[in-house]
Amino acid sequence: MTTTEATAAGSGRSATEAFTQKARTGGPVDHARVGAIATDALAALHEVVRTHRVTYEEYDALKAWLIRVGEDGEWPLFLDVFLEHEVEKVANADRSGAVGTIEGPYYKPGAPESTSEATLPMRDDEPGTPFLFQGTVTDLDGAPLDGALVELWHADDAGYYSQFAPGIPEWNLRGQIRTTADGRFAFRTIQPAPYQIPTDGSTGAFVDAAGWHPWRPAHLHLKVSAPGKQLVTTQLYFDGGDYVADDVAQAVKPELVLHPTPAASGPGNEVTYDFPLDPA
């Protein structure tokens, strides 16, 4: 396998397979709603054509590119980078506890589970700065939650996700912790690197053609849930890190920026971040 396949054709296509297994679709069609959304979505595109006097050459380039995104298997990647942030804001508008953001294309359920404390699965020589990530899951009044589940997944020091880039052990840098009565969790891991959209696929071609940069800031992905509470899907970023102020996926919020400090014992950094969960 070439390096080219390892990025776009690898990660993009794997994200399509993961999506097909979890898609929240089905149920009866609400024709009035679909008609209203489709009318407005098409009207927005028609307006762009008029405003920019889009040519037949550009129209054909769009068709060719759309065909290629499907062939690459990059629709989950493209949509999660450029559209999910607005869907997420609408979905989470009424929350008052822990702040959410987009899930992205690289979640896998069923990571190895521990109670209270875990070292994420990692290779013997896993590169990266050691990182202790800990906190408490509570209700909105700050009372600790027993039996809450904290799922954590993130890229490695080169920006690759296990199960989406080849050659990485299955559950590398993915794990989940079940809290006990004190609501506490502690993960030992390494700090992830910024993530670059594969430059050799159709999403990368789109970013390049637009003259933008293809980077997301280094981030931790989390899903936190507990009986009787709303699950929150979120990400956490590192203060001062590259692209925190300029995320291509527009998924950074001020509440989600961590301020780690040097670890009190041992090498690397540590940070405490709590998750107050809204009632279900």
Least distance from ligand MBD to the Cβ atom of residue 164, Å = 9
Of residues 103-132, which lie at the interface with ligand MBD (CB under 6 A)? 104-106
What does residue 38 show for φ and ψ, rounded to 5 degrees?
Answer: -65, -40
Q: Which residues of 55-88 are buried (b: 16+ CB within 10 A; e: fewer)?
A: eeeeeeeeeeeeeebeebbbbbbbebbeebbeeb
81 scored as a contact of ligand MBD (CB under 6 A): yes
Nearest to 12 by CA among 115, 104, 146: 104
**CB-based closest residue to ligand MBD:** 104
216 scored as a contact of ligand MBD (CB under 6 A): yes
104 scored as a contact of Fe ion (CB under 5 A): yes
249 scored as a contact of ligand MBD (CB under 6 A): yes
* Neighbour count for residue 162 (Cβ, 10 Å): 23
217 scored as a contact of Fe ion (CB under 5 A): no
Helix or strand run (H / E) with residue 131: strand 130-138
The tokens of 144 are what?
């600790």
Pick the stretch among 38-46, 96-104, 170-178, 264-272 that binds Fe ion (CB under 5 A).
Answer: 96-104
Least distance from ligand MBD to the Cβ atom of residue 35, Å = 30
DSSP character for 255?
Answer: G
256 scored as a contact of ligand MBD (CB under 6 A): no
Interface with ligand MBD (CB under 6 A), residue from 78, 195, 243, 273 = 195
Nearest to 165 by CA among 67, 66, 77: 77
Least distance from Fe ion to the Cβ atom of residue 102, Å = 9
Pick the stretch among 52-60, 76-84, 122-130, 169-177 that binds ligand MBD (CB under 6 A).
Answer: 76-84
164 scored as a contact of ligand MBD (CB under 6 A): no
Least distance from ligand MBD to the Cβ atom of residue 143, Å = 31
Measured CA to CA, the distance from residue 69 to residue 53 in angstroms comes to 24
Rounded to the nearest 10 degrees, what angle do helices 84-91 and 75-82 cross at? 60
Contacts with ligand MBD by CB under 6 A lie at 77, 80-81, 102, 104-106, 195, 216, 249, 251
Contacts with Fe ion by CB under 5 A lie at 104
